[in-house]
Chains A and B, each alone.
Chain A
Amino acid sequence: MIELQHISKVFNKGKVNEVAALKDVSLTLQKQDFLVVVGSNGSGKTTLLNIIAGAELSSSGKVIISGADVSRLAEYKRSKWIARVFQNPLSGTASDLSILDNFRLAAIRTTKKKLIIGINNSFRKRVQDKIATLGMGLENKLEQPMGTLSGGQRQALTLLMSVMDDTQILLLDEPTAALDPRSASVIMQTAHSLIQQYKLTAILITHNLKEGHQYGNRLIQMSEGKVLRDLNASEKKSLQMQEMYEWFN
């Protein structure tokens, strides 16, 4: 589903502040894999995710999604396959627009944005039913601007928005980092059930080792731009939390 071949990324090349964020990283994800990425700050986790999403282009190496070489494809074009949830809940939704408008945009992620009015009663009903599954009582506030909601509510809606249109890959960049523990667990459970239900290939970046331990069928630890540890499903299952904490000491 996703294949990274010898990806390197250098920022500020040739200057005194040159940084090699990724060094010859190769990684292959099968369909419906759920990869968890851990690693300290500056280890290259977010750069890795950005290179898959297209927010950054790699300095060398290839990115292959569903058999197509997308290495030079702009982020908005890769949205055909990829949905994203950002660390900052404000990044994934438009504050000035209503909940309904936000969902409408998400529902046409992979298609052209035409000069037709797409919000009708059946669309409204579809969004209402979807939001009702969260149990946050937001299904009757569809006209409310996104900006009036809490970070946890926005992040939950961003997750639902990611499956409004045909999605194959879900990228989660520390989705719970800005949230309180209760909202965080709601978000992770929602993400988990959506990934199962829609058979998504997913990548989760997290600093929360408990989350990293609980979710996913593969785990990698990044360090200084390289993959330091790579655990498959059975290795991950037998991994103890204590062991994970020791990786960082």
Chain B
Amino acid sequence: MEFYITALILGLCLSSMALGIFISMKIFNIPDITTDGSYTLGAVITAVLLTAHWNAIAIIPVVLAAGALAGMLTGIIHTRLKIEALLAGILVMTGLYSINLTILGRSNVPLLEVQSVFSSVHFFAASVYNNLTLSLLFILSIAFIVGYVLRTDFGIAMRATGSSASMTRALGINNNKMKIIGLAIANSLTALSGYLVAQFQNFTDINMGIGIVITGLGSVLIGEALIKWWSITSIHWQLLTVIGGSILFQLVLAFTLSIGVDPNMLKLVTASFVLLIVIIPRLKKHD
């Protein structure tokens, strides 16, 4: 049971990234590969500042700003230098690897001895329920804030940019600026996942971000399938559904591990699972 609760918490921690990818997909309709780098960036900054005895809450603005910077960079390369968004993301992700390694100083930093955001609150005696409550409250407040922003005039303009570029130009919206801001927000949210996961698993590893974008993508795809299925139009419910997608994703991975799949195969399982999510709705159409 605890095994599945751990997966559930991990799903919650990663759902901030899923919300980020939900935004970048809405703007570009393509996956933002910067994610791999900005996720690790969040974890790296968290490790370094926690080790320097920063308060866990005080680290959050730094993590958000760093993620935003990474996203803006991808956005600027894409819009100003007119480079394919996919390639722009790959470039920034690759560059971030060196930056992350420089900040972290070595490839792995354990965080067992430091006061993390999880060890700073005590709702329950059992740490697993403590962690669950904290991550749930944390993610719900993030979803609330993101939902609010997306419902404002600015948020409507941002969502429209992805839906119809010709319309938004005619309605006085600077599409390029919107893309840069959108990617900044998306990668802030991704970095926040790095912040949470590093503290939850008690270490930061330079390679923890490899392929993480696939996890986020899979979560969003599950979420979008459910959004379509239930015809959800409310933004807040859409975001909650994406969070549900992230949790479901981790539960499926936990299940495959529990039936004895070699952990080395986990990335292969992840990729196959995402492929499955993508093709199932297409198979149905041919009926």
The residues of A that contact B264 with a CB separation of less than 8 Å are none
Q: How distant is B80 from chain A, measured CB to nearest CB, in Å?
A: 14
Interface flag for B153 (CB, 8 Å): yes
Interface flag for B167 (CB, 8 Å): yes
Q: Mark B225-250, 1 if CB is under 8 A from A, else 0.
A: 00000000100000000000000000
Q: Mark A104-118, 1 if CB is under 8 A from B, else 0.
A: 111011110111111
Interface flag for B175 (CB, 8 Å): yes
Q: CA separation between A75 and B170, bound complex, in Å?
A: 7
Q: Which residue of B lies closest to A74 (CB)?
A: B174
Q: Which residue of A lies closest to B163 (CB)?
A: A94
With A93-B167, A105-B160 in contact, do A80 and B172 touch (Cβ < 8 Å)? yes
Within 8 A of A (CB), among B134-176: 148-149, 151-154, 156-157, 159-160, 162-164, 166-175
When the two chains form the complex, which single residue of A55, A93, A97, A111 contacts B169, counting CB atoms closer than 8 Å? A55
The residues of A that contact B173 with a CB separation of less than 8 Å are 76, 105, 113
Q: CA separation between A111 and B168, bound complex, in Å?
A: 13
Q: Which residue of B lies closest to A84 (CB)?
A: B170
The residues of A that contact B167 with a CB separation of less than 8 Å are 91-94, 105
Q: CA separation between A82 and B63, bound complex, in Å?
A: 42
Interface flag for A160 (CB, 8 Å): no
The residues of B that contact A223 with a CB separation of less than 8 Å are none
Interface flag for A183 (CB, 8 Å): no
Interface flag for A145 (CB, 8 Å): yes
When the two chains form the complex, which single residue of A74, A86, A115 contacts B154, counting CB atoms closer than 8 Å? A115
Q: Give the interface residue-count category, chain A.
A: 35 or more
With A115-B149, A116-B152, A143-B233 in contact, do A105 and B157 touch (Cβ < 8 Å)? yes
The residues of A that contact B156 with a CB separation of less than 8 Å are 97, 101, 104-105, 113
The residues of B that contact A101 with a CB separation of less than 8 Å are 156, 159-160
When the two chains form the complex, which single residue of B170, B175, B233 contacts A79, counting CB atoms closer than 8 Å? B170
The residues of B that contact A114 with a CB separation of less than 8 Å are 152-154
Q: How distant is A107 from chain B, measured CB to nearest CB, in Å?
A: 9
Q: How distant is A140 from chain B, measured CB to nearest CB, in Å?
A: 15
Asked if residues B174 and A76 are in contact (CB atoms below 8 Å), the reply is yes
Q: How distant is A78 from chain B, measured CB to nearest CB, in Å?
A: 9
Q: CA separation between A53 and B229, bound complex, in Å?
A: 40
Interface flag for A69 (CB, 8 Å): no
Interface flag for A217 (CB, 8 Å): no
Q: Which residue of A lies closest to B231 (CB)?
A: A145
Interface flag for A96 (CB, 8 Å): yes
Within 8 A of B (CB), among A81-102: 82-84, 86, 90-98, 101-102
Q: CA separation between A111 and B172, bound complex, in Å?
A: 8
Interface flag for A77 (CB, 8 Å): yes
Asked if residues B164 and A90 are in contact (CB atoms below 8 Å), the reply is yes
Q: CA separation between A105 and B154, bound complex, in Å?
A: 9
Q: Which residue of B lies closest to A144 (CB)?
A: B233
Binding site for A on B (CB under 8 A): 26, 148-149, 151-154, 156-157, 159-160, 162-164, 166-175, 233
A-B contact pairs, 6 of them (CB 8 A): A90-B164, A92-B164, A95-B164, A105-B168, A114-B152, A115-B152
